[in-house]
């Protein structure tokens, strides 16, 4: 099965099981966001700095691979014109649920983040991409498509897993052991033993790819972006807590598309 098809079904199942990243924000959170008090995350714990956004009201925002009823509704409540693009129809249903419940205008589009051909060139001011790049085998098409749909001086905010995480045996980490086993770039499909890969499939776990920093950071630069912001984060629970003692396991970046924004001239 093609990876996008498999991961679509896996994320649909995660919605059914109540995974953390599929649980919509509350009406109370939406009400507070309407008053200008809101925050979103690209990584597990640290909120995105507010100065990364600039003035959000009236901005055209693409929440890329960001379904689940979390980032999109809060940005819409804060006054942005929001489009949520995601591979999972069940994740998009979470955004529509919040929109209907709280009277928000949110457009939803189902598709693969590597191809945004349903979206026009230079039609967004911001692209918000929480940790999701690890669900596709090649990061560069995602950066290129984000660059295409952004207006000049538009911003891309993205979070991703530090590739050092993928050096270690996932199943050994579940047992509290750090065992270096893999090289980077990493692929569940390619690098796991058949039995271990089947364990993930049987558990309806999405399959992941560990991209190099060359692809994650250099790829944004190759697509044409300027990287103007950076911070690290950690999970603080689960298997990545083992690595948190030694290195942060998540990275967030702010990138900008060069040029003069015609709307300000």
What are phi and psi for residue 66, nearest 5 degrees?
A: -135, 30
pTM of the model: 0.94
Alpha carbon 192 to chain centroid distance? 24
pLDDT per residue, tens digit, the chain (265 aa), is: 599 999 999 999 999 999 999 999 999 999 999 999 999 999 999 999 999 999 999 999 999 999 999 999 999 999 999 999 999 999 999 999 999 999 999 999 999 999 999 999 999 999 999 999 999 999 999 999 999 999 999 999 999 999 999 999 999 988 889 999 999 999 999 999 999 999 999 999 999 999 999 999 999 999 999 999 999 999 866 556 788 889 999 999 999 999 976 554 4
DSSP state of 236: -
Q: What one-character-per-residue DSSP string does 141-194 give?
A: HHHHHHHHHEEEEEEEEEEEE-GGGGGB-HHHHHTT---B---SSEEHHHHS-H
Which residues have C-beta within 8 Å of that of residue 133, sequence separation ≥ 6? 65, 113, 139, 142, 158, 160, 211, 216
| Contact status, residue 189 vs residue 224, Cβ threshold 8 Å | no
pLDDT value at residue 174: 86
Give me the residue label for tokens 């109540």. Answer: 18
Which residues have C-beta within 8 Å of that of residue 64, sequence separation ≥ 6? 85, 113, 116, 127, 128, 129, 132, 142, 146
């Amino acid at each position: 099965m093609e990876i996008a098809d498999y991961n679509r079904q896996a994320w649909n199942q995660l919605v059914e099981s109540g995974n953390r990243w599929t649980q919509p924000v509350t009406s109370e959170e939406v009400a507070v966001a309407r008053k200008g008090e809101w925050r979103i995350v690209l990584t597990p714990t640290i909120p995105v700095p507010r100065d990364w956004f600039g003035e959000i009201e009236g901005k055209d925002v693409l929440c890329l691979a960001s379904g689940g009823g979390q980032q999109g509704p809060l940005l819409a409540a804060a006054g942005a014109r929001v489009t949520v693009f995601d591979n999972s129809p069940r994740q998009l249903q979470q955004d529509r649920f919040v929109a209907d419940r709280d009277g928000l205008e949110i457009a939803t589009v189902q598709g693969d983040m590597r191809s945004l051909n349903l979206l026009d060139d230079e039609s967004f001011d911001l692209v918000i991409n929480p940790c999701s790049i690890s669900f596709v085998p090649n990061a560069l098409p995602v950066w290129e498509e984000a660059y295409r749909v952004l207006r000049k001086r538009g911003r891309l905010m993205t979070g991703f897993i530090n590739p050092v995480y993928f050096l270690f045996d996932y199943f050994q980490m579940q047992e509290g052991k750090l065992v270096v086993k893999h090289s980077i770039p990493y692929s569940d499909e390619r690098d796991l033993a058949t039995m271990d890969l089947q364990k993930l499939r049987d558990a309806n776990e999405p399959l992941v790819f560990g991209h190099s920093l060359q692809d994650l950071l250099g790829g944004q630069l190759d697509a044409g972006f300027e990287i103007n912001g950076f911070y690290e984060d950690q999970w603080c629970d689960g298997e990545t807590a083992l690595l948190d003692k030694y290195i942060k396991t998540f990275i967030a970046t702010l990138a900008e598309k060069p040029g003069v924004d015609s709307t300000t001239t």
